[in-house]
Amino acid sequence: MEDFYLDAAFSKEEFKIMDLKLCTLILNDNKLFPWVILVPRRNGVKEIIDLNRDDQHLLMDEIALISNLMKKIFQPKKLNIAAFGNIVPQLHIHIIARFEEDKAWPNSVFGGEVKPYEMFERDLIIRKIKNEAQ
Residues near a second copy, by CB under 8 A? 46-49, 53, 56-57, 59-61, 63-64, 67-68, 71, 77-87, 89, 98, 105-108, 110-111
Buried b (16+ CB within 10 A) or exposed e, 10-25: beeeebbbeebebbbb
Residue 13 CB, nearest approach to a second copy (Å)? 27
- Residue 30: CB minimum distance to a second copy, A: 15
* Closer by beta carbon to a second copy, 30 or else 67: 67
Helix H or strand E segment including 106: none
Nearer to a second copy, 104 or 122 (CB): 104
Task: State the Cα–Cα distance between residues 94 and 39, nearest whole angstrom.
Answer: 9
CB of 111 to a second copy, least distance (A): 5
Report the distance separating Cα 97 and Cα 81, nearest Å.
9
CB of 20 vs a second copy, minimal distance in Å: 16
Q: Return d(Cα 125, Cα 24) in angstroms, integer.
A: 16
Sheet of 35-40, strands arranged across: 16-19, 23-27, 35-40, 93-98
Cβ closer to a second copy: 57 or 127?
Answer: 57
Residue 107 or 124: the one with the smaller Cβ distance to a second copy is: 107
